[in-house]
Amino acid sequence: MNKYSILVCVLLCACYRPYSKLKTEHKSDIIKHIGSFELSKSMDNETDLFDINGQNIKEVQNALKEKDDRLFIILFNWWCPSFKDSRERIVSLVKLNSNVTPLYITSDDFSQYYYYQDKYQKILNSDIFMIDVLKYGDGKRNPHKRQEPFVEEICPQCEEKMGFPTLIVFDSANNLLFNSTGLDSLEFIQLEEALDVN
């Protein structure tokens, strides 16, 4: 085996190394103050993604009642063109309001790999959660089939459950303020209002 073959082999192996050992400064207040989150056990590999389920959402909502924060749930997948097109607007809205707590949640277990995870933790400036594959998975790698029962559990009144991004905003009393799949111009204005962005 020549030196070029060895180099190619090393590079290919590196592409599939799970990203781990997330630095403490990246930990969100949600993870620091709600101790029930666990690093994902959905996959065999070590990861810094945190599993999330319906019970976790209730715990977050209860914690936010005291802070009078709005909960902004962003269900996304890295490869979705619609999310790529809207992510800068979403991040900017979060930055405009300190009383908004974002939860970035992915349903694709492929997201454990560092070349997605590291990149998006930096872009979103946030921890990233993964829908618990063991609880919501159907044995197939189908993120849509995982997302639908998860959204049904956390927001039965939500009409939009299946696309990426799916956006949900609750006020501190857990009232639904906004739900949409995608983000056109009108929906963006409605989202600004739901987040109380001036």
Condensed to tens digits (0 to 9), the pLDDT of residues 91-121 reads: 999 888 888 989 999 887 765 555 566 677 7
Q: Tokens for 180?
A: 């949409």
- Return mean pLDDT, the chain: 75
Q: What is the pLDDT of residue 18?
A: 32
Single pTM value for the model? 0.78
Q: What is the pLDDT of residue 25?
A: 43
CATH superfamily of 22-194: Glutaredoxin (3.40.30.10)
Q: Tokens for 114?
A: 């560092």
Q: What is the pLDDT of residue 11?
A: 31
40 Cα distance to chain centroid:
13
Q: What is the pLDDT of residue 73?
A: 95
Sketch the domain layout of the chain as residue ranges: 22-194
Cis geometry, peptide bond prior to residue 165 (ω within 30 degrees of 0): yes
Q: What is the pLDDT of residue 78?
A: 81
- Confidence category of residue 166, pLDDT binned at 50, 70, 90: very high
- Confidence category of residue 181, pLDDT binned at 50, 70, 90: confident
Q: What is the DSSP string of 156-170?
A: TT-S--SSSSEEEEE
Q: Which of 8-22, 79-93, 164-178 has the lowest mean pLDDT?
A: 8-22
**Whether residue 46 has pLDDT greater than 50:** yes
Q: What is the pLDDT of residue 184?
A: 84
Handedness of CA 181, 116, 53, 25 (dihedral sign): negative
